[in-house]
Amino acid sequence: MSYHKILTIQDISCVGQCSLTVALPILSACGMETCILPSAVLSTHTGGFKGFTFRDLTDDIPLIQKHWISEGIKFDAIYTGYLGSTRQIDMVKDIMSTLSSKTCKKIVDPAMADNGKLYVGFDQPYVEAMKTLCGIADVVLPNITEACFITNTEYKESYDEKYVDLLLKKLTELGAKSVILTGVSYKPETTGVIVYEAGKKSYYEHRKISKGCHGTGDIYASAFVGAVMNEKSYYDAAKIAADYTVKCIENTITDPNHWYGAKFETALSDLITSLK
Ligand code: PXL
């Protein structure tokens, strides 16, 4: 297994199996040294709990960055997810330019929307700022909804390959070098992921489980980053992450009380095996 130092920047939702509480264990299981920069601390995620707390950590970020610079710390990958404010996006761009190793992979999951809608708390200025972060990324990992927001494209429930090609074209025009587009479904019984790299498009199609789970975008992105940092190709990493995410959902949907996240811990051993 390769060993690399990764920085992941996203929130801590104390309860809810998403963002850092998912990324840290998954990247560690993939054999990576995982450093974290929390963008905010919430009592729970925003997708279904009522009255959650939200502590914005934007003002701490430049201080943490300054300390890391003074210590000469550099990262082999910087992977961002849910950010706590629009102002934070410029800070994250600055972190990418000051704390990257020579070969650092910049991976941006524009975690901000699903099913045609922005998550609670996000607005158009956040979307505009996120476009600029996607523009400097080596890899972006949007779902179809996020791709639509980032490219000013009308969201459609059903679509054809031409629509997906337009999203991919617009995403790369922003500056993103490669795109992993998730939740691409042309048929009711299957879904899949498009890997768009150096103008070449591939599709990994897999079983669609009718009931989705909250936080699976974060599970997917974390497993993808872990696999890429284990020297897997983008296509192989996209496939490994998809198979792992499906397993996590399968291990969750039998439990009706577990509505707020996916039991990603139960399939970590499968993920580790798939990296060998
Ligand atoms: O899984 C994405 C996510 C991350 N963090 C917070 C969220 C969500 C989705 O709703 O609310 C706080």
Question: Among 13, 41, 88, which is best to mutate for testing ligand 1, by the most ligand atoms less than 8 A from CB?
Answer: 13
Pocket of ligand 1 (CB under 6 A): 11, 13, 18-19, 42, 45-47, 82, 111, 119, 215, 217-218
Angstrom distance (rounded) from CA 242 to CA 258: 21
Region 214-230: mean pLDDT is 97
Angstrom distance (rounded) from CA 168 to CA 105: 20
Spatial CA neighbour of 145 closest among 114, 179, 171, 167? 114
Atom 12 of ligand 1, nearest CA residue: 45
Query: pLDDT over 90 for what percent of the chain?
Result: 95
* DSSP H/E element including 103: strand 100-108
The whole-number pLDDT of residue 213 equals 85
Region 26-54: mean pLDDT is 97
Tell me how far CA of residue 123 lies from CA of 53, 128, 130, 244, in angstroms: 19, 9, 11, 31
Question: Among 8, 11, 79, 216, which is best to mutate for testing ligand 1, by the most ligand atoms less than 8 A from CB?
Answer: 11
Q: Give the Å distance between the CA of 198 and the centre of ligand 1.
A: 30
Checking if the pLDDT of 45 tops 90, the result is yes
pLDDT tens-digit profile of 146-186?
999 999 999 999 999 999 999 999 999 999 999 999 999 99
Full-model pTM = 0.98
Strands, E, within 110-181: which ranges? 113-114, 117-118, 139-140, 178-181
**Ligand 1 atom nearest 44 alpha carbon:** 12
Region 200-227: mean pLDDT is 93
Angstrom distance (rounded) from CA 76 to CA 2: 11
Q: Give the Å distance between the CA of 46 and the centre of ligand 1.
A: 6
Atom 1 of ligand 1, nearest CA residue: 215
The average confidence (pLDDT) of the chain is 96
Q: Give the Å distance between the CA of 217 and the centre of ligand 1.
A: 9
pLDDT tens-digit profile of 187-207?
999 999 999 999 999 999 999
Checking if the pLDDT of 1 tops 80, the result is no
Res. 2 pLDDT band, cuts 50 70 90? confident
Q: Give the Å distance between the CA of 120 and the centre of ligand 1.
A: 9
The whole-number pLDDT of residue 52 equals 97
**Hey, what amino acid is at 169?**
K
- Residues paired with 205 in a beta bridge: 192
End-to-end CA distance of the chain: 8
Contact 240, 274 (CB under 8 A): yes
* DSSP H/E element including 166: helix 161-173
Q: How many CB atoms lie within 10 A of CB 188?
A: 9
